[in-house]
Amino acid sequence: MPRLLLVHTGGTLMMRGGDPAPLAPDVYTQDLLAELPVLKKVADIETRIFSNLDSSDMQPHHWVSLGALVHEALPSYDGVVIVHGTDTMAYTASALAFLLPGLDRPVVMTGAQKPLGDVRTDARSNLVDACHLAVVGPPEVGIVFDSKLLRGCRATKMDAWGMSAFGSPACTPLAELGLGVHFSAHVLPKRAAVSFDARIEERVLAVRTFPGLDPRLLLGAIDAGVRGIVLEAFGAGNIPRLENSLVPVLEKARAMDVAVVIASQCPRGSVDLARYLGGAAASGAGAISAGDMTTEAALTKLMLALGRAESEGRVRTAREAFARSWAGEMG
């Protein structure tokens, strides 16, 4: 029998309430296996409670502790399943993918739009699928939801109502579950384990560019000590360069060794800073392209890269980090 570790972090899957009281984390008394005994047919499963949070309360230090837990536990199991709220699952999945670059077995995250205790729920199928894929799936940090396995560092929450909560606009699913499981050719191969690096820089901002964004607000953030910014720019990576130009922000950032990464507001397509004057201006002022990465992946990668940077070497370290893929996060 394969051995799995099932780590509970919180989320709707084990919540109670709703209509009219808000859904809230339940006192975690139920054993997931008692609620869903069929899981025992999939694997020999050990459960561990890491936290019992609505994922909107997850913080970067939770990603790091969760990563350390998984890193330490993995050699004793065939795979790990992590139950997590959907709201920030893509951030945690991205952070875990970067914190665990040397995977040789699956780490599968899942959650649900409706609690396990509800009659109409997606929790049962998501959990069964996640456990199955933690046994037979690829050595990646994935998100299993609605009969699909997505690469965690490519996924984003797209739906707060429907059962298909996640999409992965720039990367087709790693696996689709129907009568059987169909795996894609682009799953990552096994990678040798590497030591765990817990360093992370939290003084980072993600800012959506919009018409009227006052550059003084970003200049103020640089004065206040921000170390890195993910700027969600328009289209192919364009920023305003005439009225309310953001170019002086990028120039000041470069002078202060603050890394600015340009992501796109468009879920599909890639940043191409050579295509328009707005992108060329950003590139000329030292901005780094996030390519086709999600904002979740760009932000967590920037936090981890800057955590490893020498002081005075932040922009260089970030540029090197975004020049190559760490876990299949860019195309």
Residue 289 binding ligand ASP, by CB under 6 A: no
Using the minimum distance from each CB to ligand ASP, give the nearer residue, 111 or 142: 111
Pairing mode of beta strands 44-53, 79-83: unpaired
The answer to whether residue 9 forms part of the interface with ligand ASP (CB under 6 A) is no
| 276 classed as catalytic | yes
| 293: nearest Cα among 133, 124, 48, 98 | 98
Which residues, 6+ apart, have CB-to-CB distance to 165 below 8 Å?
86, 111, 113, 145, 146, 157, 158, 159
For the CB of residue 51, give the shortest distance to ligand ASP in the complex, in Å: 11
Segment contacting ligand ASP (CB under 6 A): 83-91, 144-152, 225-233, 264-272? 83-91
Which of these is catalytic: 86, 88, 294, 295? 86
Rounded Cα distance, 239 and 251, in Å: 13
Cβ atoms within 10 Å, residue 270? 16
* Cα–Cα distance, 195 to 185 (Å, whole number): 28
For residues 110 and 238, which CB has a smaller minimum distance to ligand ASP in the complex?
A: 110
> Active site includes 28?
no
* The one among 8, 12, 133, 249 contacting ligand ASP by CB under 6 A: 12
Decide if 88 is catalytic. no
Give the Cα separation of 128 and 183 in Å (integer). Answer: 17
Residue 276 · residue 268 · CB < 8 Å: no
Q: Contact region for ligand ASP (CB under 6 A) — 35-43, 52-60, 122-130, 192-200?
A: 52-60
d(CA 294, CA 297): 5
**Cβ 6 to ligand ASP, closest distance in Å?**
16
| Residue 87 in the binding site for ligand ASP (CB under 6 A) | yes
From 12, 110, 121, 294, the catalytic residue: 12
Q: Which residues of this protein are in contact with ligand ASP, per CB under 6 A?
A: 10-12, 54-56, 85-87, 111, 113
Q: Could you list the active site residues?
A: 12, 86-87, 157, 276
